[in-house]
Structures are given as C-alpha cells and as structure tokens.
Amino acid sequence: MVPRVQLAPEIQLAQRLAGNEQVTRDRAVRKLRKYIVARSQREAGGFTHEELLKVWKGLFYCMWMQDKLLLQEELGRTISQLIHAFQTTEAQHLFLQTFWQTMNREWTGIDRLRLDKFYLLMRMVLNESLVALKMQGWEERQIEQLLELLTTEILHPDSQAPNGVKSHFIEIFLEELARVGAAELTAEQNLKFIDPFCRIAAQTKDSLVLHNITQGIFETIVEQAPFAIEDLMNELEEEEEEEEEEMSEEDEQEQDVPSKKLFEKLPEGSGGAGPDGGEEQAGDDEDSVGAVLQFDYEAVANRLFEMASQQNTPSQNRKRLYKVIRKLQGLAEGLFPEEDVPEKAYRKLQEGRQERKARKCLPKSQLQDKTGRAEQEDPRADPSSRSERKRRRRGPGADPAAPQEQPGGRGRRGVRKRRRRPRAGARGKVPGCQEPDVKKKWTQERKK
C-alpha cells in the first residue's frame, strides 16, 4: 500500500473551515485561533505568505456557507478578531495583506445574494485593523505601514482590486476611523490618514475612483464640518463646566451654604436639573450624527492643492479637486456650505440641493416679488399659476376646462381684445416686435 501523505495543518484547517456542517466550521474556527496563538509564540514561528493565503481561502468559504444575518455578524466578528491572535505587527500586516488579496481574487465569483455578507466582513476587518493601531497607541510608524499596505492592495492603479472592493473601502474608511478613534485622534493625525486619498485622487486616471474619493472622503469632510465644530464646542463647554464644578466644590468646603436643602424643597420642574432636562438631553442625543473626525481644513486644502497643482495631474482631476479646495478654504475662513448649522445641518444637507435646483427653475418675477414667497412655500400653488398665465397668453388655444376664462358666450375673443389694447402706443410693445420705422426711432432715441 502507498503510504498516505499527511497534509499541512493549514490545508486541513482550510478544508474543515469550508465544510458543509456548521458544527464542523465553528470547531475549525476555534482550533484556528488556538493554532495561530501557539505558532506565533514560537521563536522560529510565524506564517508564510502562502500559508496565510490558504487559511484565508478556508475562512472565505466559511463565510460563504454561513446563513442568517445574526450568525453572519457573529462569524464576521470572530474572523476579524483573529488579527489580535498574532503577536507581532509584521504578522498582523501579513494577515491583513492576504485578506485583501483573497477578496480581490474571489470578488468576481461572489453572486448577488452573498455580497452583503462580504461587505460586512470587509467593514469588520478594517475596524479591527484600526483597533490594533489604537492598542499600539496610534504610533506614527504603524500608521504609515498600514496605510501603505491598504494603498498598495486596494487604491493603487496597479493593484488587482475590482471596482466593487475599491468603492466599498472608500465608502467605509472614514466611518470606521471615526468609530474607533474620533475621541483620541488629532487633526494632524487625521490628515495623515487621508493623505493616500489625496495622492490617488490627483494621480488616478480612473474617473470612478476619482468620483468615489471626492464624494466618500472630501465631500464627507465638508458635510460633517458643522457637526465636528459642534462637538468641539461641546467639549470646550464640558471642560469649563468641570472647572466651575471644581471651583464650586472648593467654595462649599470653605463655607457651609444650605443651598442643597433649599434645592431639595423645590418642586420638580421649578428650576435646575430635573426629569425634563434629562428628556431634552435624550432628544438631543437622538438627533446627533455620531462620532465625527476633527480636521484642520486649511491644512487639508493646502495638502490637496499641493498634489493637484503638479504638472502630471490630469486636467479633469485638477478641476474636480479645485472645487473641493475652495469649499475647504471657505470652511477654514468660517463659511459653511449651508445656512442652518449646526442644529439643522443634517436635514439641510439632505434637502439643500433639491431646494436650490427648484429655485433656479422659478422665473425672476417670482423671486423678486414679495408675494411670490408664499407661492414658493406652497408647491401646489406654482403649477396652477403657471397654467393660468399660459392660458392667458395662448388665447384661442387655451384650456376649455377653465370656467373663469370663458364667461358666457363671448369667452376667448374678449380676452384677446384685452390683451391687444397696448397696440395703440409703441411703448406698450416689445422693441424687437415693432415695425421697422418705429424701431428706428426707438433706437435713435435710446442712443441720445
């Protein structure tokens, strides 16, 4: 008999991870974590690039076979947290590199019904990679290495990443960065995180990548500016309140003031912090957008201008980036893109563009007339007023369904005679429609 060849542990785990039974797959995931911890603790341990590619292929099909949303979220969280089982930063980066290479290789084979689970997996892996940076204290060297890895595997024009992977990565990058480090990262550190997007936006020849970066990174920064400034003001107010409380506590220790007893006797709602105040704060929390990153808008504009003004930058990219630069410079000067900020900024950002388009479509007479404002507020009033004006202009071709235009048997002829009364004098007509001799006199008088 031919001796049986024993497979490598990575191949055995990959086969079990892609098994048909969920019990087998769950047991394989637990064994994989223990195997990674045990092997990474060895002095001569660690994984090679090919071994981790085999491991990720098994994990990919483990996610492929998983059904039900809650179980998919639990499995995606378990897989993404495997990065913390590696003991060194180099091993963690190799684990991330092989993940993105696996997604790039297998992306075209994912059907429409399974896209959401892999979108979720990419989001969770990116989140955990940022959490690993946070655990290391946001070291500058570690940030540069991670950004270089992500740029090489996803954003760079020479990468093998499909458009779906690039678009989703650009869309979720700022969201996950804010979720992990909004409370700790400074504006200077956030500028380093978006620096690769500035370079790619200036160099890329792919219009889709340029559009996604402009909308998903720079326009998002502009739209979140009111909320970022509001958060900064809230932090300053909280610091002032803490200082005032410390000062008041010191004063109370020096002087015994019976203010607490008086406050306890006051009925609820008479003043101070009561249950109503708590409800108001809860309502404010519901309207908040969430964690928002802080940026130095002038520094972002300068960095983007530095990249866009280079000679090798395509003209299409330069024009698109210059528009964003002007918005960032306006933010640096205190000019917000919307009027009602920051309380109504979220609602205004959603409806502002549609309102501006509707205003452009209105005639100048309605914009200048004071009475036209009421018509603009009521959208149902505009179509009827326009239709009435059209019927008056058309005369015999007007709509027969309008009773006020057709009183009695005379109807339309009376309307035409009233419209043609200004013909008695030349001033009542438009200059371009006058007779030749009258037109000459009108032009001569205008020159005088």
Tens digits of per-residue pLDDT, 7-39? 888 899 999 999 999 999 999 999 999 999 998
pLDDT, residue 218, reads: 95
Alpha helices, DSSP H, located in 5-139: 9-17, 22-40, 49-65, 69-80, 89-106, 115-135
Tens digits of per-residue pLDDT, 385-396? 455 554 444 444
pLDDT, residue 171, reads: 96
For residue 378, the tally of other CB atoms under 10 A from its CB is 8
For residue 293, the tally of other CB atoms under 10 A from its CB is 23
Sign of the Cα torsion 410, 411, 415, 418 reads positive
Q: Which whole number is the average pLDDT over 231-253?
A: 70
Pair of tokens at residue 353: 């563009």
Rg (CA), the chain: 34
Amino acid symbol at 137: G
Average pLDDT in the chain: 75
Distance CA 382, CA 358 (A): 11
pLDDT, residue 117, reads: 96
Domain ranges of the chain: 9-181, 183-240+291-337
pLDDT, residue 359, reads: 56
pTM, two decimals, is: 0.67
CA distances from 172 to 84, 114, 122, 175, 212 (A): 21, 19, 9, 5, 11
pLDDT, residue 292, reads: 86
The residue whose two tokens read 């892609």 is 18
Residue 244 pLDDT > 60: yes
With CA atoms as reference, report the closest residue to 181 among 237, 216, 139: 139
